[in-house]
Structure 1
């Protein structure tokens, strides 16, 4: 067997999430971290020195001066579209952090550009790579729980001051919107949300009711007010119920006679996500979550914001 092709990668955006991308790429075999970009020149230079790569304060210069195969984009959401379009124009496969964009129109432009340039566009919905979520999806698809009739989630915790450009729905609620769609294997078609703003300029607490295929139920509870972090999901089927903890990476199954704990090999979801992206870039296989899946989660999240503001149910 010959050696795998070396994939040349870069990262745009070196904040909290971007630095994690930089760290993981620097540790991966068969990957070479070519450069990182951020307008904060002192920050990007410090990280570049630490991870032995090239710093750029302008992502366009990085695209122009390096021969990249793939790029992670962890810039603020409002900047996703122009940076992604620049990367695709440069012929680079793209992983963009969730949410895919700040508007459905921009998400569509990104998807169409990826198709036109024949490049991959993957959206970084990290919980898709949580081993507990993958185990639950496997069990649901096997039919052990029977028909699933409701999936509810709680994603709550203290406010992080670095989040300034979006509210709690687009920042963390979108994770569970995507996971509920993923667990059911179907799109969401109706949204009704109740939310408010007490400590933030955007909404900081929300309860989002979801309907799928007109007869399946989803519920997302999320806030930045709870003093401790909770990340949990409950899936109710006609034969049993599953309780998932995203943080512990654990799943329990309950039926009439038994309580079973799933055997799960714990792992860092972001490492799994980036490995999947690199494999897709190397092999030419289609990544998941795709641009279309990321666009659907964005559509639902934006509909939830519209719903609470207009106090009505929104059709997707």
Structure 2
């Protein structure tokens, strides 16, 4: 049985603690402890989920961990992730993998050098509706893909302080669109501005992604009063409409309309179970470091494109 922990118990980290606690009750892992600089918050959660709180993640790293989820601010990803990797502890680091390409590459190289499982928390890959959509695309239900359009909008996120909306939210759909096309993004063009956030922290963006024979569009903002998370996929043989939140998928072609049968399940549970399985069986995660760095590279280029007004080649 794997001994697991969580570093950073803010909004996302709390969910990691909750799901690991469920898996612990089912005898699948042991939740050894959680760490946060806000020790009062760590103590409160530890009491609720029957684990041990730490104010210093370094002390948690000494507690006999096999694996850890890291859900701290993006600017701290490299420092904390490397410390766990160097101790031989498998890591799931929340998206984006790091704050810049150099730091992301350092994380990937360290994991490879130490033989550590490194997974990046692109949770939408594990949404049951996305899993079903990928299956249907692979079966040719939509023919050849032409365009994929994502809308990820909602209210202002007070919790986000260190990155803009492209790095925080658009990176989800950059990853998913590339995954569905089954190829890396080739070009990026973006428009982005800040309306209510400080200068340099964009709160709305429209991003165009170029592929060999298709295009992706990501619309995202922190200005819409209600949360929307949708995806539209157009192919030569039909069109699909996906709702991330409702885990709903409908397909249309010239002759019929049908709705996919989807067993609703929490994406984070799917993600953490996959992480555990990869460690136990020596498998490579479906969202590995290379997938994480590609999504980050495209997001950073989108920010640059928004500043310069240019279409940029992705490379890498």
TM-score between the two structures when normalised by the length of structure 2? 0.97
Map of 2:231 onto structure 1: 233
Of the three residues 176, 179, 183, the one matched with 1:179 is 176
Map of 1:204 onto structure 2: 203
Partner residue, 2:15: 20
> Match for residue 99 of structure 1?
96
Q: Which residue of 2 aligns with 1:33?
A: 31
How far off is 1:53 after superposition? 1.2
Counterpart of 1:42 in structure 2 is 40
Tell me how far 1:46 sits from its aligned partner. 1.3
**Residue pair 1:98, 1:125 contacting (<8 A) in 2 also:** yes
* Deviation beyond 4 Å, 4+ runs, structure 1: none
Paired residues for 1:118-157 under 5 Å: 118-157=115-154
Please tell me whether the aligned partners of residues 231 and 245 of structure 1 are also in contact (alpha carbons under 8 angstroms). Answer: yes
Q: How far is the alpha carbon of 1:156 from its aligned partner? A: 0.5
8 Å CA contact 1:123–1:288 kept in 2: the answer is no
TM-score, normalisation: structure 1? 0.97
How many equivalent residue pairs?
A: 309
1:11 aligns with 2:6: yes
1:286 deviates by: 1.0
> 78, 82, 94: which one pairs with 1:81?
78
Structure 1 residue matching 2:210: 3-state secondary structure? strand
Partner Cα separation in structure 1 for residue 185 and residue 2 of structure 2: 36
Query: Deviations along 1:213-255, whole A, 9 cap, x unmatched?
Result: 2x21000000011111111101000111111111110111111
For residues 138 and 58 of structure 1, the distance between their equivalents in structure 2, rounded to whole angstroms, comes to 43
| Aligned twin of 1:251 | 249
Mapped partners of 1:151, 1:75: distance in 2: 31
Q: For structure 2, list consecutive stretches of 5 or more residues without a partner in the other structure.
A: none
Structure 1 unaligned blocks of 5 or more: 1-5
Q: Shift of residue 49 of structure 1?
A: 1.5
Q: Distance in 2 between matches of 1:174 and 1:32?
A: 31
